Amino acid sequence: ARERIAVLFSQAEKVYHEHPGYSNRYVALARKISMRERVRIEPVFRHRFCHHCYRYMVPGANMRVRVHHGWVAVTCLECRKTTRYRVERSHDHKD
Protein backbone atom coordinates (compact mmCIF):
# COMPACT_ATOMS: atom_id res chain seq x y z
CA ALA A 1 0.00 0.00 0.00
CA ARG A 2 2.85 2.41 0.82
CA GLU A 3 4.44 1.73 -2.57
CA ARG A 4 1.18 2.43 -4.36
CA ILE A 5 0.69 5.68 -2.42
CA ALA A 6 4.23 6.78 -3.35
CA VAL A 7 3.55 6.00 -7.02
CA LEU A 8 0.29 7.96 -6.97
CA PHE A 9 1.97 11.03 -5.48
CA SER A 10 4.82 10.87 -8.00
CA GLN A 11 2.27 10.66 -10.82
CA ALA A 12 0.36 13.60 -9.33
CA GLU A 13 3.57 15.64 -9.36
CA LYS A 14 4.35 14.76 -12.98
CA VAL A 15 0.90 15.47 -14.36
CA TYR A 16 -0.11 18.54 -12.30
CA HIS A 17 0.80 21.30 -14.79
CA GLU A 18 -1.10 19.68 -17.67
CA HIS A 19 -4.07 18.14 -15.79
CA PRO A 20 -4.54 19.40 -12.21
CA GLY A 21 -7.76 17.40 -11.97
CA TYR A 22 -5.84 14.17 -12.44
CA SER A 23 -3.51 15.13 -9.59
CA ASN A 24 -6.49 15.69 -7.30
CA ARG A 25 -7.86 12.29 -8.30
CA TYR A 26 -4.51 10.62 -7.52
CA VAL A 27 -4.56 12.20 -4.05
CA ALA A 28 -8.10 10.92 -3.52
CA LEU A 29 -7.02 7.41 -4.55
CA ALA A 30 -3.97 7.54 -2.25
CA ARG A 31 -6.16 8.62 0.68
CA LYS A 32 -8.65 5.88 -0.07
CA ILE A 33 -5.89 3.24 -0.13
CA SER A 34 -4.39 4.51 3.13
CA MET A 35 -7.78 4.41 4.87
CA ARG A 36 -8.71 1.00 3.50
CA GLU A 37 -5.36 -0.58 4.38
CA ARG A 38 -4.99 1.44 7.61
CA VAL A 39 -1.59 2.78 6.58
CA ARG A 40 -0.45 6.28 7.43
CA ILE A 41 0.58 8.53 4.57
CA GLU A 42 4.22 9.49 5.06
CA PRO A 43 4.91 13.10 6.16
CA VAL A 44 6.65 13.85 2.85
CA PHE A 45 3.39 13.16 1.03
CA ARG A 46 1.09 14.39 3.79
CA HIS A 47 2.28 17.97 3.31
CA ARG A 48 1.57 17.81 -0.44
CA PHE A 49 -2.21 17.96 -0.24
CA CYS A 50 -4.75 20.18 1.51
CA HIS A 51 -6.38 18.53 4.51
CA HIS A 52 -9.55 20.55 4.05
CA CYS A 53 -10.37 20.24 0.33
CA TYR A 54 -7.97 17.32 -0.44
CA ARG A 55 -6.41 18.96 -3.49
CA TYR A 56 -2.84 18.36 -4.58
CA MET A 57 -0.76 21.44 -3.72
CA VAL A 58 2.25 22.87 -5.56
CA PRO A 59 4.19 25.76 -3.99
CA GLY A 60 3.65 28.93 -5.97
CA ALA A 61 0.83 27.51 -8.06
CA ASN A 62 -1.98 26.88 -5.58
CA MET A 63 -0.14 26.98 -2.25
CA ARG A 64 1.58 29.64 -0.15
CA VAL A 65 4.29 28.71 2.38
CA ARG A 66 5.41 30.92 5.26
CA VAL A 67 8.00 30.08 7.92
CA HIS A 68 7.90 31.78 11.30
CA HIS A 69 9.69 30.84 14.54
CA GLY A 70 9.89 27.11 13.89
CA TRP A 71 6.42 26.80 12.37
CA VAL A 72 5.54 26.37 8.72
CA ALA A 73 2.19 27.82 7.68
CA VAL A 74 0.83 26.40 4.45
CA THR A 75 -2.15 28.15 2.86
CA CYS A 76 -4.19 26.41 0.19
CA LEU A 77 -5.12 29.02 -2.40
CA GLU A 78 -8.09 26.90 -3.56
CA CYS A 79 -10.05 26.83 -0.28
CA ARG A 80 -8.07 29.54 1.64
CA LYS A 81 -7.49 27.28 4.65
CA THR A 82 -4.18 27.37 6.54
CA THR A 83 -2.39 24.38 8.02
CA ARG A 84 0.53 24.77 10.38
CA TYR A 85 3.15 22.24 11.36
CA ARG A 86 6.25 22.34 13.50
CA VAL A 87 9.73 22.14 12.04
CA GLU A 88 12.27 20.56 14.33
CA ARG A 89 15.81 21.85 14.17
CA SER A 90 18.42 19.08 14.00
CA HIS A 91 20.74 18.97 17.00
CA ASP A 92 23.78 17.63 15.15
CA HIS A 93 24.68 20.88 13.38
CA LYS A 94 27.80 22.81 14.36
CA ASP A 95 27.96 26.59 14.41
Q: How many domains does the chain have?
A: 1
Residue 94 lies in a domain: no
Distance CA 43, CA 21 (A): 23
Q: Is residue 25 situated within a structural domain?
A: yes
Domain extent at residue 45: 2-86
Global confidence as pTM: 0.82
Which stretches of the chain are assigned E, i.e. beta strand? 63-68, 71-76, 82-86
Q: Which residues pair with 47 in a beta bridge?
A: none
User: pLDDT tens per residue, the chain (95 residues)?
Assistant: 999 999 999 999 999 999 999 999 999 999 999 999 999 999 999 999 999 999 999 999 999 999 988 899 999 999 999 999 998 776 665 65
